[in-house]
Structure 1
């Protein structure tokens, strides 16, 4: 068992509650009301971008820095950012302040970013991306007719995203196991579950 697999196992049943969450399954069916969810999720983009920058700065090899830099460019300038703007406009969603769980997740990202602890940074990134692959990979084809749901699924599934998650898991597997990494990983999983609960 790899270290990332062990971390995931230690977070049961929370992990399964996230990747099979009723709201996530509703996204997969094209039935979820995405307005509040996307407005809150969009508020993570800045903190997530900063966390990717911290990963670039604190990675211990050049080979590790490159995938972070590539993904950082994608988040900041291309598909995902464009999706948020188009989807929020399509849904007629209005700006709203961050909820408590959104603030808590932003705080965790800021905490691990400022720690400059590469293992903690990877742990939070891995949870964020691996859990989303977990629910999106459960979508049945054909995907929903609604482009808001379909494109959100497609952003978190497919060969490129799977390769990205595999990279993050590989980086986590290279870390020396320690209690602090399990604590951070578990907190991130709990926040993902709370975020879906609220949605």
Structure 2
């Protein structure tokens, strides 16, 4: 390993795929409020299908984390996902777009849920943190590119706001910090095991954006 952090090393190993995610044309269209209505509806309908698996993955992080100090942020974020604005956003946005919460799963949605469920079932905290970090860091990556003024439509504006700002940046910094802390002293085989999961999650993020415009 070089002097750069483990999380940064993981991200660098996933180029150019990582940059393709955070600058994806569909993501950039969200930041400008110019996505086609059907594309945004399809995207949010499928993204909603992750709520249960993502919530279960957060719960697994609480259970498998190696310190009390690590468990607390996961528990706090878990409560936010389950009870606050992100959950209500989906229902309001899908109602606005004429979408539904009960839709057939696209293949990429199935594959991403399987990845979440696989690392959750293993109760391997480092791999759980890797999948969570990709999901959140990627979204901060594109949302932070939005320029003021944000789109007038709440469907776009609130989705950006949910993935940008001091609280969300702090959450991503925590996830990266956990990878950095746990990555110290890993042998080469373990580093590449984590990289394999991290890279798979990045590939799925790109495929998910591709699906939205497919």
Alignment of 1:123 with 2:130, yes or no, is yes
TM-score (norm 1): 0.99
Alignment of 1:81 with 2:84, yes or no, is no
Helix, strand or coil at the partner of 1:175 = helix
Could you tell me how far apart the structure 1 residues matched to 2:7 and 2:133 are?
9
Match of 2:31 in 1: 28
Match of 1:186 in 2: 199
Could you tell me how far apart the structure 2 residues matched to 1:29 and 1:13 are?
23
Match of 2:7 in 1: 4
Indicate the larger mover: 29-38 or 127-136: 29-38
Match of 1:64 in 2: 70
Could you tell me how far apart the structure 2 residues matched to 1:157 and 1:179 are?
30
Deviation per residue, 1:28-76 (Å, 9 max, x gap): 0001131000000000000000000000000000000000000000000
Could you tell me how far apart the structure 2 residues matched to 1:140 and 1:179 are?
36
Alignment of 1:19 with 2:32, yes or no, is no
Alignment of 1:91 with 2:94, yes or no, is no
Alignment of 1:48 with 2:51, yes or no, is no
Q: Which runs of 5+ in 2 are unaligned?
A: none
Q: Which runs of at least 4 in structure 1 moved beyond 6 Å after TM superposition?
A: none
How many residue pairs align between the two structures? Answer: 199
Deviation per residue, 1:156-198 (Å, 9 max, x gap): 0000000000000000111234211000000000000000011
Match of 1:144 in 2: 151
* RMSD of aligned Cα (Å): 0.7
Helix, strand or coil at the partner of 1:157 = coil
Could you tell me how far apart the structure 1 residues matched to 2:200 and 2:61 are?
19
Match of 2:175 in 1: 168
Deviation per residue, 1:82-132 (Å, 9 max, x gap): 100110111111342110000000000000000110000000000000000
Helix, strand or coil at the partner of 1:112 = helix
Q: Which runs of 5+ in 1 are unaligned?
A: none
Could you tell me how far apart the structure 2 residues matched to 1:76 and 1:122 are?
19
TM-score (norm 2): 0.92
Return the index of the structure with the highest Cα Rg: 2
Helix, strand or coil at the partner of 2:87 = helix
Could you tell me how far apart the structure 1 residues matched to 2:167 and 2:30 are?
21
